Structure 1
Amino acid sequence: MRQRFIGQEENLLPSTLVSLASMSVHAAGLVAVGVFYVVILLTGILALRKSKEVEKKCIGKKSEVAIVGGRDMIVVIGVFTMTATWVGGGYIMGTAEAVYSPAQGLIWAFGPVSYFLNFLIAGLFFAKPMRSKHYVTMLDPFQHRYGQFFTTAILLPALFSDILWVACILAALGGTMSIILDISATISIPISAAVSISYTVLGGLYAVAYTDVIQLSFIFVSLWLSIPFMFLSPAVTDPSQTTNFNQSNSFPWVGEVKLEDAGKWTDDFFVLALGGLACQALFQRILAASSSAQAQVTCFAAGGFAFIMGIPSVIIGAVAASADWNQTGYGLPPPYERGEAGNILPLALSYIAPTWVSVLGIGALAAAVMSSMDSALLSSGSMFTQNIYKTTLRKQASERELKWVIRISVLLVGLAGTCLAFNKSSILSLWVLANDTLYCVIAPQLTCAVHLRSGNCYGAISGYVIALLLRVLSGEPALGIPPVLLFPGWREEDGVITQYFPFRTLIVFISLAVVVFMSWLFQLAFSRQLIPQSWDVFDAFKKKVEAIEEERTTIPISKDEKKYVLNTAL
Structure 2
Amino acid sequence: MALDVGGLVAVVVFYVLILAIGIWASRKSKKEEEKCVGSKSEVTMVGGRNINILVGVFTMTATWVGGGYIMGTAEAVYSPSQGLIWALGPLAYLITFLLAGLFFAKPMRSQRYVTMMDPFQRRYGNSITTALLLPALISDVLWVACILAALGGTMSVILGLSSSYSIALSAAVAITYTLMGGLYSVAYTDVIQLFFIFIALWLCVPFLVLNPASSEVTLAAFFNQSQQAPLMGELKLEHAGKWIDELLLLALGGLSYQALYQRILSAASSTQAQVTCFAAAGIVVIMGVPSVIIGAVAASTDWNQTAYGLPSPFARGEAGKVLPLALHYLTPPWVSVVGIGAVAAAVMSSMDSALLSSASMFTHNIYKSTLKAQASDRECVWVIRVSVLLVGLAGTGLAFAEDSVFAFWLMSGDLIYCVVFPQLICVLHCRCANGYGATAGYLVAVTLRLLSGEPLLRLPTALLFPGWREEGGVIRQYFPFRTLVMLSSLVCIPLASSLATLAFSHRLLPRSWDLLAALGEEEERGKEGDDGKPAVTEKLLATSSTSC
Moved more, 493-502 or 103-112: 493-502
2:402 is aligned with 1:424: yes
2:260 is aligned with 1:282: yes
Structure 1: distance between partners of 2:286 and 2:410: 20
Of 520, 537, 544, the match for 2:498: 520
Of 475, 478, 483, the match for 2:461: 483
Structure 2: distance between partners of 1:431 and 1:178: 20
Structure 2: distance between partners of 1:118 and 1:467: 21
Note the 1:127-526 alignment, pairs <5 A.
Answer: 127-236=105-214, 237-239=216-218, 241-242=220-221, 249-526=227-504
Task: Go from structure 1 to structure 2 and tell me whether the alpha carbon gap of 1:73 and 1:347 turns closer, same or farther (over 3 Å shift).
Answer: same
Structure 2: distance between partners of 1:541 and 1:388: 25
SS at match of 1:336: coil
Structure 2: distance between partners of 1:327 and 1:545: 73
Where does residue 541 of structure 2 map in the other structure?
Answer: none
SS at match of 1:69: helix
SS at match of 1:541: helix
Where does residue 4 of structure 1 map in the other structure?
Answer: none
Structure 1: distance between partners of 2:219 and 2:177: 44
Note the 1:64-143 alignment, pairs <5 A.
Answer: 64-143=42-121
Identity of aligned residues (%): 65
1:28 Cα deviation after fit: 1.6
1:75 Cα deviation after fit: 1.2
Of 483, 501, 508, the match for 1:530: 508
Structure 2: distance between partners of 1:483 and 1:83: 36
1:436 Cα deviation after fit: 1.0
Structure 2: distance between partners of 1:247 and 1:80: 38
Structure 1: distance between partners of 2:34 and 2:507: 52
Is the contact between residue 142 and residue 449 of structure 1 (CA under 8 Å) also seen in structure 2? yes
1:539 Cα deviation after fit: 2.3
Aligned partner of 1:417: which letter?
G
Structure 2 portions without partners, runs of 5+: 528-548
1:393 Cα deviation after fit: 0.5
Q: How big is each residue's C-alpha offset from its partner over 1:119-153, in whole Å with a ceiling of 9 and x where there is no partner?
A: 00000000001000000000001001111111001
1:388 Cα deviation after fit: 0.6
TM-score normalized with structure 2 length: 0.94
TM-score normalized with structure 1 length: 0.90
Moved more, 167-176 or 533-542: 533-542
Q: Looking at CA atoms only, which structure, 1 or 2, has the larger radius of gyration?
A: 1
Aligned partner of 2:218: which letter?
P
Structure 2: distance between partners of 1:104 and 1:79: 31
Aligned partner of 1:239: which letter?
T
1:417 Cα deviation after fit: 0.3
Structure 1: distance between partners of 2:72 and 2:279: 23
SS at match of 1:70: helix
Structure 2: distance between partners of 1:424 and 1:146: 37
Structure 1: distance between partners of 2:79 and 2:198: 24
Structure 1: distance between partners of 2:38 and 2:50: 17
SS at match of 1:497: strand
Structure 1: distance between partners of 2:71 and 2:231: 16
Is the contact between residue 197 and residue 343 of structure 2 (CA under 8 Å) also seen in structure 1? yes
Structure 2: distance between partners of 1:356 and 1:180: 10
Is the contact between residue 146 and residue 540 of structure 1 (CA under 8 Å) also seen in structure 2? no
Q: How many residues align?
A: 525
Structure 2: distance between partners of 1:285 and 1:407: 19
Task: Go from structure 1 to structure 2 and tell me whether the alpha carbon gap of 1:130 and 1:350 turns closer, same or farther (over 3 Å shift).
Answer: same
Is the contact between residue 238 and residue 478 of structure 2 (CA under 8 Å) also seen in structure 1? yes
Structure 1 portions without partners, runs of 5+: 1-18, 550-570
Where does residue 11 of structure 1 map in the other structure?
Answer: none
Q: How big is each residue's C-alpha offset from its partner over 1:15-46, in whole Å with a ceiling of 9 and x where there is no partner?
A: xxxx9xx65xx112111111111111111111
Structure 2: distance between partners of 1:544 and 1:56: 41
Task: Go from structure 1 to structure 2 and tell me whether the alpha carbon gap of 1:545 and 1:265 turns closer, same or farther (over 3 Å shift).
Answer: closer
The CA RMSD over aligned residues, in Å, is 1.6
Task: Go from structure 1 to structure 2 and tell me whether the alpha carbon gap of 1:337 and 1:548 turns closer, same or farther (over 3 Å shift).
Answer: closer
Q: How big is each residue's C-alpha offset from its partner over 1:357-408, in whole Å with a ceiling of 9 and x where there is no partner?
A: 1000110010000000000000100000000100110111010000000000
1:536 Cα deviation after fit: 1.4
1:497 Cα deviation after fit: 1.1
Structure 2: distance between partners of 1:540 and 1:360: 58
Aligned partner of 2:512: which letter?
S
Structure 2: distance between partners of 1:265 and 1:510: 19
Is the contact between residue 216 and residue 368 of structure 1 (CA under 8 Å) also seen in structure 2? yes
1:548 Cα deviation after fit: 8.1
2:23 is aligned with 1:54: no
1:332 Cα deviation after fit: 0.5
SS at match of 2:411: helix
Aligned partner of 1:134: which letter?
R
Is the contact between residue 82 and residue 282 of structure 1 (CA under 8 Å) also seen in structure 2? yes
Task: Go from structure 1 to structure 2 and tell me whether the alpha carbon gap of 1:543 and 1:451 turns closer, same or farther (over 3 Å shift).
Answer: closer
Is the contact between residue 221 and residue 227 of structure 2 (CA under 8 Å) also seen in structure 1? no
Task: Go from structure 1 to structure 2 and tell me whether the alpha carbon gap of 1:247 and 1:487 turns closer, same or farther (over 3 Å shift).
Answer: farther
1:409 Cα deviation after fit: 0.4
Aligned partner of 2:267: which letter?
A
Is the contact between residue 149 and residue 403 of structure 2 (CA under 8 Å) also seen in structure 1? no
Structure 2: distance between partners of 1:446 and 1:381: 19
Is the contact between residue 201 and residue 407 of structure 1 (CA under 8 Å) also seen in structure 2? yes
Where does residue 5 of structure 1 map in the other structure?
Answer: none
SS at match of 2:311: coil
Q: How big is each residue's C-alpha offset from its partner over 1:243-281, in whole Å with a ceiling of 9 and x where there is no partner?
A: 9xx996534211010011111011001001110000000
